[in-house]
Structure 1
Amino acid sequence: MSKIKIGIIGCGSITKHRHFPEYAANENVEIVAVCDLDKKRASRFADKAGATVYISYEELLQDPAVEAVSVNLPNALHAPVSIAALKAGKHVLCEKPMATSIQETEEMIQAAKDSGKNLMIGHNQRFVTSHQMAREYIKSGKLGKIYSFRTAFGHGGPEGWSADGRDSWFFDKERAFIGAMGDLGVHKSDLIRFIFDQDVIEVGGFVDTLAKENTDVDDNAVCVVKLADGAIGTLTASWSYKKFEDNSTIIYGEKGVLRLEDDEDYSFIFYPIDGKPEKVDAGKIQSNDEGGQTNSGVIDEFIDSILSKRQPAVTGEEGKKALEIVIAALESSETKKIISI
């Protein structure tokens, strides 16, 4: 089987901690090109892979050796670069949030259809074992009717994660479009749809800047969301959890409670109304902390979808629906109204 030849566009922290090592570990991949405006930064990855260095993504996309690309750039560049890559005949794995508007998501989806190439969005929470177990528990009826839930994603902020620290594009609204809600909240909006296997139909949001100085992007958001079947829950995204990262989800059902990524020893715990708790160590969810750099599953899914000539698990349509929830939260916060999707 021939290897898929990959180009990586953008050589920041998401490439360092996720994309590059996971491509390198995949036996069906050859990294042939890397691109960054900072040539030295790109060269560090290129030297490890024996890849060609580019400082222009347009030039990389003209490289006939490149079959597929990761788009790991500031949020405002996700759509234009992904569309250019699809038009150049490359498969695309785009980091989240996939775009800065619904119109952009639709243009990306259309570009993928026109090119016949795969477009995948990097929502990794679907591939977490505890989340997949929860989806099956709910599908099988073990929780009965779902009443409510809460899900959160918070850490100390991009300054502890980004390659550029406090000078990162994450804090620049023109390049980022949105702060914690786009960085972390969009992961949870995708997760909610995945776990419950249904759409969110209403959103109420409080989105604000409370912890970070000298920035015009949000750093804290708390949203109330309603599912198609009537269940309601909260979604929290924060860049102000300075001591501990929180990536937990708790689901309250007719027949018991599920606690996911909420215990130091067990990533999946089911407390039935009757009987003993079921506790499973299903491995730790990915984290920005040391020791949290486990395989996300995103790269392997992207590559397998190309090799298998099928659509990836997180299509452009799925990425669009996750972004719709985020944008609804922003609109709700601004208008002080509940937004229907």
Structure 2
Amino acid sequence: ALPHYLYGEVVCCALESGLHVLKEKPFAKTLADAKRMLDAATASGKKLMVAGQNKFAAAFIKGKEIVDSKILGDIFLTRGAIIYRWGGAIGGAWGWRGKEELSGGVAIIDAGWHILDLIHWYRGKPSVVYASVGTMKGAPNTDYDVDDKAVINLEYPDGGIGSIVSCYITLPGETRATLHGVNGSLDVSGGNLTFILNGETQEVTLPEQRFDPMTAQMRHFAEIIQSDIESPANVQRAYEVMEIVDAAYRSARSKTRVEI
């Protein structure tokens, strides 16, 4: 993988050379680099897509359909979590990811991108972010200066709130999005979906998963090159996720709420 600090230069060069670009998450190391790439994509007329395979998994796709149907009613509480154990961190093989000046961080910008991207897809852009990364190291016997865990609280323009937990140095693992509306709740975790409406669990049929999420994502990139179909991976939405990332780090440093 390319170190995050190089994304802006490499991606802009590719776009300006007439290439379409599918890039790994996160969008960029900094919000300024993300804006630079967004502008380069617009100026070149080429497609720029930021990876995020959860949006191509059957259970999360069905979850998006339920959210968009508005059947949950006003969503007053949103919860997200991504937790896993990365052997590189535990074994001390951090490489460039363990250096903030090269990666920009991990728990929020890298590991956290997966769940921030998914929650943004479901819920949209928050107006306020408050984040904490703590000071205790979860892998104390290895050398790194990046965030290894984070709790990110979100406030939305409609009055709803949300909370996200990200950690990549522990088990059991979890990738989960849960939304609570005035009419019902939705919980999506891995390949499982629970939909509760008016206190009753509903039977849900997931869409056919013809391809694994990674393959589906690659095929989608080919499709958006060939047509102007609406994309869950649209680059403007990815920029908004980057705004949340930027606000979260500013909040963690200042220990204050940050408005977006």
* 1:294 maps to 2:212: yes
The whole-number CA distance in structure 1 between the counterparts of 2:71 and 2:222 is 34
Count of matched residue positions in the alignment of Structure 1 and Structure 2: 255
* 1:234 CA drift (Å): 0.5
Q: Which residue number in structure 2 is paired with residue 30 of structure 1? A: none
Residue range with higher mean Cα deviation, 215-224 or 167-176: 167-176
After TM superposition, the score normalised by the length of structure 2 is: 0.88
Q: Which residue number in structure 2 is paired with residue 304 of structure 1? A: 223
Q: CA RMSD in A?
A: 2.5
Query: Structure 1 residues 318, 141: CA separation in 2 closer, same or farther (over 3 Å shift)?
Result: closer
* 1:281 CA drift (Å): 6.0
Q: Taking CA–CA contacts closer than 8 Å with sequence separation of 6 or more, which of the two structures ends up with the larger relative contact order? A: 2
Q: How does 1:144-163 map to 2 (within 5 A)?
A: 144-157=73-86, 159=88
Residue range with higher mean Cα deviation, 126-135 or 224-233: 126-135
SS in 2 for 1:210: coil
Query: Structure 1 residues 88, 310: CA separation in 2 closer, same or farther (over 3 Å shift)?
Result: farther
Q: Which residue number in structure 2 is paired with residue 110 of structure 1? A: 39
Q: Which residue number in structure 2 is paired with residue 227 of structure 1? A: 156
* 1:313 CA drift (Å): 3.6
Q: Which residue number in structure 1 is paired with residue 128 of structure 2? A: 202
The whole-number CA distance in structure 2 between the counterparts of 1:311 and 1:117 is 15
The whole-number CA distance in structure 2 between the counterparts of 1:117 and 1:182 is 25
* 1:308 CA drift (Å): 2.0
* 1:253 maps to 2:171: no
Deviations 1:288-336 (A, max 9, x none): xxxxx93322211111111225675423322211111111111111111
Q: 51, 61, 65: which one pairs with 1:132?
A: 61
SS in 1 for 2:150: strand
After TM superposition, the score normalised by the length of structure 1 is: 0.69
Q: Which residue number in structure 1 is paired with residue 51 of structure 2? A: 122
Q: How does 1:43-82 map to 2 (within 5 A)?
A: 72-82=1-11
SS in 1 for 2:173: coil
Contact 1:150/1:251, CA 8 A, preserved across alignment: yes
Identity of aligned residues (%): 27
Q: Residue type of the partner of 1:221?
A: A
Contact 1:147/1:253, CA 8 A, preserved across alignment: yes
Q: 71, 95, 98: which one pairs with 1:168?
A: 95
- Unpaired segments of 5 or more residues in structure 2? none
Which has the higher Rg, Structure 1 or Structure 2?
1
The whole-number CA distance in structure 2 between the counterparts of 1:90 and 1:229 is 39
Q: 216, 224, 240: which one pairs with 1:321?
A: 240
Q: Residue type of the partner of 2:40?
A: A
Contact 2:62/2:207, CA 8 A, preserved across alignment: no
Q: Which residue number in structure 2 is paired with residue 336 of structure 1? A: 255
